[in-house]
């Protein structure tokens, strides 16, 4: 085994003939023929030479190239011999100079040697002696270079802040620097008696051995690896280790140098960031991102192995009550306590996550549906027994649970989560605080799924302006001639194929997902813009009715929005009538009363739509300052044949007129119904028997 050179004998051996080829010889000779002869003799000994006929050219060459030995004639055309030697030594102090002259005096030779010349030869002397002298000079040059390199290496080795170890061919540590000793809490004597694998964590030995074998076999010149190094006290340090092989002139490996950087803190921070990226900071449970990653891997096994799993989706029922009653600090504490309670009900291999807000997910791997139902039932029972205490108050916490079996091919993460959400929502709609299992033929879930599809379609329709306005005329029942038009603005959704979808198909979903208020604002703005586009329309307009949803009544900014749009379009309010359904009006009575009171000052009139469908219609009617009562079409369309319907229409009409309101009958589908309404005394009629809705642009 060879190690770092450390003695003159080693240096002499290092300067063997094999290394001489790395030393170039500079020939500075006034007699070029003699120089060529010398160069040929040196070539036989594998020395590469460069010949120059004067000192100036030689000095220029030394500036740009490296020479180990210079053979110099003291009689040069442009330099006195000793002056040239001084100049050459100043350019490169490491070069070994051999004087070769036939005319110089003894004193000149002594002066040259005093200036540092390595040897002195007479021209025409023994050629073998000349070659031997050049060899000794080359070995001296190589030895000095090695000593210089060794001194530099020792300085770096001792003072480096990075740990360094020298490893022999048997894997033994033959030297280590102070930085590595401090890092591992071991002294030099202990480290230098160990095989480097004895410092490795057991889980890192295999990878290191594989890479070291590739290095020893010449497949790679170095390798880098992150591994754990064992300290004396048994703890481990994470280190980034770069191992490089050092070769001799024959390409045999002398030893290996391992550069060791302590990355324990960097690794800790990286692992902490990775943990934070995949865990919920409040509960410590995995977050939605990590949960979906795990679900994706489970779905892959379900597809390839035919295994069965289950996903449980939990949504707290009273979380908002606790937040509103006690504040968000109480809500956070509740979630933390649930983060401790829930893991006690799941297996170690299952994945429990906080998916966001007050929602949790449990991925049960290799769990048939009956077993998953038992687990979900146990969790539901634990919630019933759980009590949350805050400020000397006790709260029960309900939970709605959706359970989805995972089996069969072609299921995606989005499919499973959508099914789980639908099942959980079905549990809420069924009365909350219960479990609902997802099944393909579940009609309630199919309805929910349809609504979820509408969520995307409605949002896209609003963003891409796929809605359009239609109108339907409203006429006086007594057939009074009038030049003024009275109509209701109706909404349609235009599909890409040109088909138009009626609002009954999507308004319930729009209400559920919070789009109704946006749609109402869109209708108001487009209707006013259409009227303002041609002022002659206002001259023909008696009243334009626009529907408002119950969601809009709860919109605090709706009132200011309507006033701003009226001002923007310079629109007189007395041409507008806002229609609000009876159920929406009653459910949002304070907001409705404020809206009606303020906008009536602008001349806007109001209609109570679908009147008669509510459970307390007549009791509320006298408290609603509306201008029109629209009789629900369910009573109007069978008025010809049903005495009860006729009586309901007559009663609503009488009460409305007593209260100073005008009545409008909906669903008037033929002349016979219109005649009946005339006999009863209803003021206005609307329906397909009078006018089928048309695009507003056709008006």
Strands (E), 418-474: 435-437, 467-473
Q: How far is CA 240 from the centre of its chain?
A: 27
Q: Using H for helix, E for strand and C for coil, what is the string for 160-219?
A: CCCEEEEECCCCEEEEECHHHHHHHCCCHHHHCCCEHHHHECHHHHHHHHHHHHHHHCCC
- Distance between CA 377 and CA 434 in Å, rounded? 9
In the block, tokens 């990226």 appear at: 277
Contact 112, 87 (CB under 8 A): no
Strands (E), 460-600: 467-473, 475-476, 485-494, 500-501, 541-548, 576-581
How open is the CA angle 368-373-378, to the nearest 5 degrees? 130
Write the CB contacts of 1 (distance below 8 Å, at least 6 apart in sequence).
Answer: 168, 169, 170, 255
Catalytic site residue from 204, 315, 358, 609:
358
Is 609 one of the annotated active-site residues of the chain?
no
As a whole number of Å, the CA-based R_g of the chain is 48
- Distance between CA 240 and CA 227 in Å, rounded? 7
Residue 48 burial (CB count, 10 A): 14
- Distance between CA 69 and CA 141 in Å, rounded? 8
Burial 541-573 (b: 16+ CB within 10 A, else e): bebbbbbbbbbbbebeebeebbeebbeebebee
Contact 423, 436 (CB under 8 A): yes
Give the bridge partners for 28, in sequence order. Answer: 52, 72
Write the CB contacts of 698 (distance below 8 Å, at least 6 apart in sequence).
Answer: none
- Distance between CA 107 and CA 101 in Å, rounded? 13
In the block, tokens 């008669």 appear at: 612
In the block, tokens 């692992």 appear at: 271
- Distance between CA 695 and CA 204 in Å, rounded? 75
- Distance between CA 282 and CA 146 in Å, rounded? 62
- Distance between CA 39 and CA 100 in Å, rounded? 13
- Distance between CA 537 and CA 640 in Å, rounded? 37
- Strand 69-72: give its sheet, edge to edge: 48-52, 24-28, 69-72, 96-101, 119-122
* Tokens linked to 493: 């959704």
- Distance between CA 421 and CA 356 in Å, rounded? 13
Write the CB contacts of 284 (distance below 8 Å, at least 6 apart in sequence).
Answer: 339
The HSE-up count of residue 254 (CA atoms within 13 Å, CB side) is 12
* Tokens linked to 17: 């003939």
- How do 393-396 and 399-406 pair as beta strands? unpaired
Residues classed as catalytic:
358
């Amino acid at each position: 085994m060879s190690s770092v050179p450390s003695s003159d004998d080693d240096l002499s051996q290092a300067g063997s003939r094999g290394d001489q080829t790395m030393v170039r010889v500079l020939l500075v000779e006034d007699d070029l023929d003699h120089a060529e002869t010398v160069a040929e003799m040196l070539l036989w000994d594998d020395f590469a030479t460069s010949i120059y006929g004067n000192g100036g050219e030689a000095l220029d060459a030394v500036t740009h190239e490296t020479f180990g030995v210079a053979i110099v004639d003291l009689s040069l055309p442009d330099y006195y011999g000793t002056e040239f030697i001084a100049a050459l030594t100043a350019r490169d102090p490491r070069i070994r100079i051999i004087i070769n002259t036939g005319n110089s005096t003894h004193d000149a030779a002594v002066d040259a040697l005093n200036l540092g010349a390595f040897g002195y030869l007479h021209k025409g002397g023994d050629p073998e002696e000349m070659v031997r002298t050049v060899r000794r000079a080359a070995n001296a040059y190589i030895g000095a270079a090695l000593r210089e390199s060794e001194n530099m290496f020792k300085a770096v080795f001792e003072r480096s802040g990075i740990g360094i170890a020298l490893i022999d061919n048997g894997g033994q540590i033959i030297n280590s620097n102070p930085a590595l000793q401090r890092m591992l809490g071991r002294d030099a004597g202990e480290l230098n008696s160990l095989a480097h694998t004895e410092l490795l964590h057991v889980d890192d030995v295999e990878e290191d051995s594989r890479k070291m074998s590739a290095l020893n076999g010449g497949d790679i010149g170095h390798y880098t690896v992150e591994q754990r190094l064992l300290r004396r006290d048994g703890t481990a340090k994470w280190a980034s280790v770069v191992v490089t092989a050092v070769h001799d002139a024959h390409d045999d490996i002398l030893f290996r140098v391992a550069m060791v950087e302590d990355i324990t803190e960097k690794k800790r921070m990286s692992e902490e960031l990775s943990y934070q990226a995949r865990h919920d900071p409040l509960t410590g449970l995995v977050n939605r991102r990590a949960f979906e990653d795990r679900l994706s891997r489970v779905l892959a096994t379900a597809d390839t192995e035919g295994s069965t799993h289950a996903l449980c989706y939990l949504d707290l029922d009273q979380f908002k009550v606790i937040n509103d009653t006690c504040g968000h600090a109480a809500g956070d504490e509740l979630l933390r306590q649930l983060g401790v309670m829930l893991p006690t009900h799941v297996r170690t291999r299952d994945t429990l996550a906080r998916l966001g807000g007050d929602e949790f997910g449990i991925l049960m791997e290799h769990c048939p549906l009956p077993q998953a139902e038992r687990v979900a039932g146990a969790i539901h029972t634990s919630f019933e027994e759980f009590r949350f205490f805050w400020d000397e108050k006790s709260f029960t916490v309900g939970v709605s649970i959706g359970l989805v079996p995972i089996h069969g091919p072609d299921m995606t993460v989005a499919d499973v989560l959508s099914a789980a959400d639908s099942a959980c929502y079905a549990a809420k709609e069924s009365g909350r605080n219960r479990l609902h299992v997802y099944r393909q033929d579940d009609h309630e879930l199919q309805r929910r799924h349809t609504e979820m599809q509408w969520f995307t379609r409605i949002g896209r329709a609003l963003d891409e302006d796929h809605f359009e306005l239609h109108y339907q005329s409203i006429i006086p029942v007594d057939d009074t001639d009038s030049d003024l038009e009275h109509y209701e603005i109706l909404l349609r959704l235009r599909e890409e194929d040109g088909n138009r979808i009626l609002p009954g198909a999507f308004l319930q979903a729009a209400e559920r997902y919070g789009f109704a208020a946006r749609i109402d604002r869109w209708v108001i703005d487009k209707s006013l813009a259409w009227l303002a586009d041609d002022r002659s329309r206002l001259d023909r307009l008696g009243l334009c009715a626009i529907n408002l949803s119950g969601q809009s009544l709860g919109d605090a900014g709706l009132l200011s929005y309507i006033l701003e749009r009226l001002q923007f379009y310079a629109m007189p309010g007395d041409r507008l009538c806002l229609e609000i359904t009876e159920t929406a009006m009653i459910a949002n009575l304070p907001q409705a009363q404020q809206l009606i009171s303020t906008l009536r000052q602008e001349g806007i009139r109001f209609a109570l739509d679908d009147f008669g469908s509510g459970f307390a219609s007549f009791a509320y009617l006298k408290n609603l300052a509306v201008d029109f009562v629209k009789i629900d079409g369910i009573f109007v369309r069978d008025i010809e044949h049903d005495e009860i319907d006729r009586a309901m229409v007559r009663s609503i009409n009488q009460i409305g007129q007593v209260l100073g309101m005008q009545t409008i009958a909906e669903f008037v589908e033929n002349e016979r119904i219109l005649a009946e309404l005339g006999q009863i005394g209803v003021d206005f009629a609307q329906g397909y028997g009078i006018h089928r809705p048309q695009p507003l642009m056709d008006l």
